[in-house]
Amino acid sequence: MQKIIVLDRDGVINVDSDAYIKSADEWQPEAGSIEAIKALKQAGWLVAIATNQSGIKRGYYGRHQLSDMHQKLQGLLGEHGVDWISYAPYLSEDHSPARKPASGMLTAIEQRFDLSLAGMPMVGDTLADMQVARAKKMNPYLVRTGKGERTLANQEAILDDIPVYSNLQSVAEALLK
């Protein structure tokens, strides 16, 4: 069975900002995230990203700038690049089936690879990430980077049995043991 992991982007792979990441220059990897993705890829995992990108609809940056950010990520990963990137450029009030916590991006990943995400890991830093992982019967992992500490501070019941790790690298190390 093909192993696949779904990652949120901002706050998991790259440093997040409440002012939004608007360019490739602003896009900086979280400590250990590039190494984590490379290790997963070398171990035979498919790596997909599902990321809300409302900054596009807000007019903070365009699809070209988003593409530049993703090209920077892929460049840092070299031959161990991410297999698939899904993004939702919508606002919460748009009620888009693509925007997390809705499951549209995850359904697109399932269709792209012709597999079920049930039982597979998803790493995120927000409540929406944990909610969509549960909706798809995935195994959610919360990281403390990005908005992770804020998410934990809310003490939502859904978080009670979700494993919490310091960052993506510590999740990858645990999964690869």
- Here the CATH number for the domain that contains residue 46 is 3.40.50.1000
- pLDDT tens string for the chain (177 positions)? 899 999 999 999 999 999 999 999 999 999 999 999 999 999 999 999 999 999 999 999 999 999 999 999 999 999 999 999 999 999 999 999 999 999 999 999 999 999 999 999 999 999 999 999 999 999 999 999 999 999 999 999 999 999 999 999 999 999 999
User: Is residue 103 a part of any domain in this protein?
Assistant: yes
User: Is residue 10 a part of any domain in this protein?
Assistant: yes
* Residue ranges making up the domain that contains 78: 4-142+163-170
Q: Which of 10, 16, 125, 129 is catalytic?
A: 10
User: Is residue 107 a part of any domain in this protein?
Assistant: yes
User: Is residue 177 a part of any domain in this protein?
Assistant: no
CB atoms near residue 92 (< 10 Å): 12
* Whether 161 is catalytic: no
User: Is residue 154 a part of any domain in this protein?
Assistant: no
Beta-bridge mates of residue 46: 4
- What domain count does the chain have? 1
User: Is residue 15 a part of any domain in this protein?
Assistant: yes
- The structure tokens listed for 63 are 């699809």
pTM across the whole model:
0.97
* Whether 8 is catalytic: yes
Q: Where are the alpha helices (DSSP H) in 43-154?
A: 55-58, 63-77, 104-113, 127-135, 148-153
